[in-house]
Chains A and B, each alone.
Chain A
Amino acid sequence: MNIVVLVKQVPDSGAERELRSDDQTIDRSSANNVLNEMDEYAVEEALKLQEALGGEVTVLTMGPEQAGEAIRKALQMGPDKAVHVLDGALHGSCAVATSKVLAAALRTLNPDLVLAGAESTDGRVQVMPHMIAERLGIAALTGARKLTVDGGTLTVERQTEEGYEVVTAATPAIVSVWDTINEPRYPSLKGIMAAKKKPVQTLSLADLGISPDEVGFAGSTSTVVESTKRPPRQAGTKVTDSGDGGVQLVEFLATERFV
């Protein structure tokens, strides 16, 4: 089974994140950029399937030059190779345009299964798997907490608001995973060394047959008009419990009319 894992470089969600004042895109210069956490679970799931079923695991990303760091991080875990869609015209692409590019790249790779993290920690939009599936005419099984493969049939257990549901589809398909699905491995020293030599193919928009005016700011279907920093919350009253902390808490709730 040939698997492509979608990965994304994001600013570290544990640090201060900002939008650039000039074009309202994510400021990658000030942020510590990391591999999106949920993507590690997708890589792990791909490697487990490869161990059981054979085939090749390819990592795919779209992003600026420095997104190559996220590719290396993912390769250190064990995938065979990577594809980096890299083109200056992509800067400022919206989700709709991004899905067009990723779908085009996936067509060149023709995988049986595409795996992705359920969301990125920067945009948290969660729509990419369905957008790509819509373009490729393949099944999208999102938010998996369990994935089983039986020949060409995939079965996914997915969390819902009220419990979970079991869904099934035939390959080719795209599956997105939550962090409940597995425990990602740490790269071994051997894995780290090997990743340096793994092939990373770079694809431009021209390679994918996409015109620059279909992506980036020119081709985007939505625009950020402005962004402002939200004033940080002010700390309120803090009391130390000296036997009546619970009562004081309820008194506060009463003044705010919650009890």
Chain B
Amino acid sequence: MAEVLVVVEHSGGAVKKLTLELLTLARTLGEPAAVVFGAPGSAAALTGRLGEYGAAKIYAVESDELTGYLVAPKATVLASLIGDVAPAAVLLGSTQEGKEIAGRLAVKLDNGLLTDVSDLAADGTATQVVFAGSTIVRSKVSRGLPLATLRPNSVAPVPAPVTPAVSPVEVPLSDADKLVKVVDRVVEQKGSRPELTEASVVVSGGRGLGSAENFKLVEELADLLGGAVGASRAATDSGFYPHQFQVGQTGKTVSPQLYVALGISGAIQHRAGMQTSKTIVAVNKDAEAPIFELADFGVVGDLFKVVPQAAEEIRKRA
């Protein structure tokens, strides 16, 4: 069976959930082979988890140099690996870095690229949901091999344990790979909450929260539900919450099992980023707010009364 290359995303010695989704999808297309980029020793820490989800092979691309430059070296290494193993498909996460590596790869190989797919069938047909969730597109790569980036939370990760064979891959970098140097990495707001795009529950706050201070209501409910915190553009633009948590057309696209919208009217800008969530719950004082058109359950009322009561009720039931 031909290999399907999966580019692994990891952080702090842990494999990200999106990678487990990619491995699960890869198994339907061929034999999953995980490609780990990182400092020396990175792959060893991830082998167990990658094997648990079916990575028969692991390509360990390890170098201190690699992490010091932006994406270009990774695309170079992948292009050479693709030449060597002739995979059936190449899958990456639809994250900023995943898309950027894939974009460079597409140009290097003169190969088609399908981004933000929610599924990739065995015949190479991808499914994409576009235009703020209003249209479903089926598309195919017409030149080269299937090269796709998968939107987080599209596939339920299912274990299929194997013992991976680990092969080290040499990293010969050229000057063209070293044009952009990373001089500093700053971790902000890294709490115990799950990452926004990967979370199965997202609780978001909007203009209705009224202040940065009041966002602790959103955080409290998110923590009780084990979810991530999001914010509407109105809330981030007003400085209520940091910009990287913005959900919407100009922010993150999320597709969790449960999306809770607090004090968010549901302008199309916001809906574009959360419309494909499985279950949507909204609290808003305006009964006419468009968010209620999408909500499976909506409460028309004062969020400063409804949310604390809901939090109390969850604690009671716990």
A residues lining the B interface (CB < 8 Å): 13-14, 16-19, 24, 37-38, 94-96, 99, 121-128, 130-131, 133-135, 137-143, 145, 155, 159-170, 173, 178-180, 220-230, 232-233, 235-241, 244-250, 252-254, 256, 258-259
- Complexed CA–CA distance, A134 and B257 (Å): 38
Tell me, rounded to whole Å, the shortest Cβ–Cβ distance linking B254 to chain A: 13
* Given A17-B134, A168-B183, A258-B225, A96 and B307 contact (CB-CB distance below 8 Å): no
Q: Which residue of A lies closest to B296 (CB)?
A: A236
- Report whether A240 and B300 are in contact in the complex, using a CB–CB cutoff of 8 Å: yes
Return the contact of A227 from the options B103, B137, B258 (Cβ within 8 A). B137
- Complexed CA–CA distance, A123 and B272 (Å): 12
What chain A residues lie within 8 Å of B144 (beta carbons)? 221
What chain B residues lie within 8 Å of A166 (beta carbons)? 182-186
Tell me, rounded to whole Å, the shortest Cβ–Cβ distance linking A130 to chain B: 4
- Report whether B112 and A230 are in contact in the complex, using a CB–CB cutoff of 8 Å: no
Indicate with 1 or 0, residue by residue over B240-269, a CB within 8 angstroms of chain A CB atoms: 000110000110010001100000000011
Q: Which residue of B lies closest to A100 (CB)?
A: B107
What chain A residues lie within 8 Å of B102 (beta carbons)? 127
Q: How many residues of B contact A (CB 8 A)?
A: 97
- Complexed CA–CA distance, A244 and B307 (Å): 11
Q: Which residue of A lies closest to B142 (CB)?
A: A223
* Given A140-B70, A170-B179, A245-B305, A235 and B299 contact (CB-CB distance below 8 Å): no
Indicate with 1 or 0, residue by residue over B125-166, a CB within 8 angstroms of chain A CB atoms: 100011111111111111110000000000000000000000
B238 lies within 8 A of chain A by Cβ: no
- Report whether B142 and A179 are in contact in the complex, using a CB–CB cutoff of 8 Å: no
B45 lies within 8 A of chain A by Cβ: no
B residues lining the A interface (CB < 8 Å): 11, 70-72, 75, 95-96, 99-100, 102-104, 106-108, 110-116, 125, 129-144, 176, 179-190, 195-197, 201, 224-225, 243-244, 249-250, 253, 257-258, 268-269, 272, 275, 279-281, 283, 287, 292-302, 305-314, 317-318
- Report whether A239 and B298 are in contact in the complex, using a CB–CB cutoff of 8 Å: yes
- Complexed CA–CA distance, A122 and B116 (Å): 13
- Complexed CA–CA distance, A110 and B311 (Å): 59
What chain B residues lie within 8 Å of A169 (beta carbons)? 179-181
- Complexed CA–CA distance, A82 and B188 (Å): 40
Q: Which residue of B lies closest to A240 (CB)?
A: B300
- Report whether B136 and A228 are in contact in the complex, using a CB–CB cutoff of 8 Å: yes
* Given A169-B179, A221-B143, A235 and B115 contact (CB-CB distance below 8 Å): no
What chain B residues lie within 8 Å of A13 (beta carbons)? 132, 249, 268-269, 272
- Complexed CA–CA distance, A173 and B137 (Å): 34
- Report whether A162 and B190 are in contact in the complex, using a CB–CB cutoff of 8 Å: yes
- Complexed CA–CA distance, A85 and B292 (Å): 44
What chain A residues lie within 8 Å of B190 (beta carbons)? 162-163
- Report whether B107 and A238 are in contact in the complex, using a CB–CB cutoff of 8 Å: no
- Complexed CA–CA distance, A178 and B252 (Å): 12
CB-defined A-B contacts under 8 Å, sample of 14: A121-B249, A122-B131, A126-B96, A128-B103, A134-B103, A140-B179, A159-B244, A162-B190, A170-B179, A221-B106, A230-B129, A238-B287, A244-B309, A259-B224
Q: Which residue of B lies closest to A229 (CB)?
A: B135
Q: Which residue of B lies closest to A244 (CB)?
A: B309
- Report whether B139 and A225 are in contact in the complex, using a CB–CB cutoff of 8 Å: yes
- Report whether A127 and B136 are in contact in the complex, using a CB–CB cutoff of 8 Å: no
